[in-house]
C-alpha cells in the first residue's frame, strides 16, 4: 500500500503543479552547500495542526503533492533536508534543514511552504539559523589530530538525527583566545573516538538567534552518540555553556517521499 501512495504522488506531481518547473534539479550545488563555509543553515521545525489528520486522504495527498512541488522548485538553489521528529521529540513533528548562500532565499522557501495548502497546517514553528565557517579554532593543533578529524565517517545510512542548540556564557567570551583554543582542543580530542560512527556539523548562530552554536549529529548508533555527549560533558569547555539543548531535537532522516508516505496515511 505504501508504494502505491508513493507512486500516485509521483504521477500526480507533474499534473497538479503545472506552473512549477520540476526539471531535473542539478545536485551539483547541493554538495557545495553542504560542505563549504559561508553557507547559512536554517532549522525549521513544525507541528501539524489538529485539522490535518481530519481531512480526507485524497485532500491530504493533493496537498502533499503541492508540498513536493514547492520543495523541488526551491531545490534548484537550496539544499533541503527533511526529518521526522514525531514520536521521538515532543516539540515538533517535522524538521526542515535548509542550506543557502543567502538567508533571503531560505525565507522565500519557507514563505512558499507556509503559504501552500499543506503549509497552512504547520504551526508552532521553531526556526533558528547559523553560518558555516572554516574550522579555525585551534591554531597549534597537532597535524595527526587534524588528519584524524578529516577522516570520513563510516559509510552506510545514519538514520538518527539530533540537533542541539548551544549558548555560551559571558565568561567564555571574555577568556583570551588561547585559553578558548586550548579548551576546544581538549573538546576535539574527547570527541575523536566517535568520529567514525557519529557525523557532526557545526553552525555559528551568534546574533541571528538567542544562541551561539547549532550542533547537528547523524548516526546509526545512538549509544555511541550518547557516549560522545557524555565525553563532551566532562571537558572544561562544557562548564561555559549557559544553555545546552532546550530543546534537543531527536528524529529520523527521511526522504521527501518517505515523509509524504507517512503523512498521507
In the set 91, 200, 221, 243, the catalytic residue is 200
State the residue for C-alpha cell 503549509.
119
Nearest to 190 by CA among 148, 251, 241: 148
Q: How many residues does the chain have?
A: 265
Q: Counting contacts by CB under 8 A, is residue 137 touching its own copies?
A: no
* CA–CA dist 254, 81 (Å, integer): 8
Q: Counting contacts by CB under 8 A, is residue 6 touching its own copies?
A: no
The residue (of 2 and 146) whose beta carbon lies closer to its own copies is 2
* CA–CA dist 222, 228 (Å, integer): 10
Nearest to 44 by CA among 84, 120, 95: 95
Q: Counting contacts by CB under 8 A, is residue 265 touching its own copies?
A: yes
* CA–CA dist 177, 208 (Å, integer): 22
The residue (of 13 and 203) whose beta carbon lies closer to its own copies is 203
H-helix segments, the chain: 2-16, 28-35, 57-74, 103-115, 143-150, 170-174, 177-191, 222-233, 256-264
Q: Counting contacts by CB under 8 A, is residue 193 touching its own copies?
A: no
Piece of the chain touching its own copies by CB under 8 A; list 36-44, 68-76, 148-156, 183-191:
36-44
On whether the CB atoms of residues 117 and 49 are closer than 8 A, the answer is no
Residues 199 to 218: which contact its own copies by CB under 8 A?
Answer: 204, 206-210
Q: Counting contacts by CB under 8 A, is residue 127 touching its own copies?
A: yes
The residue (of 150 and 246) whose beta carbon lies closer to its own copies is 246
What is the smallest separation between the CB atom of 24 and its own copies, expressed in angstroms? 25
Q: Catalytic positions, please?
A: 200
Catalog residues that contact its own copies under the rule CB under 8 A.
Answer: 38, 40, 42, 44, 49-50, 53-54, 84, 86-90, 103-104, 106-111, 114-115, 120, 123, 125-129, 131, 159-160, 162, 164, 170-171, 173-174, 204, 206-210, 222-223, 225-226, 228-230, 233-234, 236, 238-239, 241, 244-248, 250, 252, 262, 265
Amino acid at each position: 500500500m505504501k508504494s502505491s501512495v508513493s507512486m500516485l504522488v509521483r504521477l500526480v506531481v507533474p499534473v497538479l503543479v503545472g506552473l512549477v518547473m520540476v526539471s531535473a534539479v542539478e545536485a551539483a550545488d547541493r554538495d557545495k552547500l553542504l560542505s563549504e563555509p559561508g553557507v547559512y543553515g536554517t532549522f525549521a521545525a513544525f507541528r501539524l495542526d489538529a485539522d490535518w489528520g481530519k481531512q480526507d486522504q485524497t485532500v491530504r495527498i493533493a496537498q502533499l503533492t503541492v508540498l513536493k512541488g514547492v520543495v523541488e522548485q526551491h531545490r534548484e538553489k537550496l539544499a533541503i533536508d527533511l526529518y521526522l521528529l514525531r514520536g521521538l521529540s515532543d516539540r515538533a513533528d517535522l524538521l526542515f534543514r535548509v542550506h543557502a548562500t543567502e538567508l533571503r532565499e531560505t525565507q522565500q522557501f519557507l514563505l512558499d511552504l507556509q503559504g501552500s495548502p499543506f503549509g497552512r497546517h504547520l504551526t508552532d514553528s521553531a526556526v533558528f539559523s547559523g553560518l558555516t565557517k572554516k574550522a579555525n579554532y585551534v591554531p597549534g593543533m597537532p597535524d595527526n589530530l587534524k588528519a584524524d578529524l578529516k577522516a570520513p565517517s563510516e559509510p552506510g545510512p545514519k538514520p538518527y538525527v539530533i540537533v542541539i542548540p548551544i549558548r555560551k556564557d559571558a565568561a567564555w567570551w571574555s577568556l583570551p583566545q588561547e585559553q578558548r583554543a586550548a579548551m576546544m582542543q581538549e573538546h576535539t580530542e574527547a570527541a575523536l573516538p566517535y568520529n567514525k560512527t557519529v557525523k557532526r556539523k557545526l553552525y555559528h548562530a551568534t546574533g541571528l538567534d538567542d544562541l551561539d552554536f547549532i550542533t547537528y549529529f547523524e548516526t546509526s548508533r545512538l549509544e555511541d552518540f550518547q557516549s560522545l555527549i557524555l565525553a563532551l560533558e566532562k571537558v572544561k569547555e562544557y562548564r561555559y555553556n549557559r544553555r545546552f539543548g532546550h530543546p534537543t531535537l531527536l528524529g529520523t532522516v527521511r526522504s521527501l517521499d518517505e515523509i509524504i508516505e507517512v503523512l498521507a496515511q
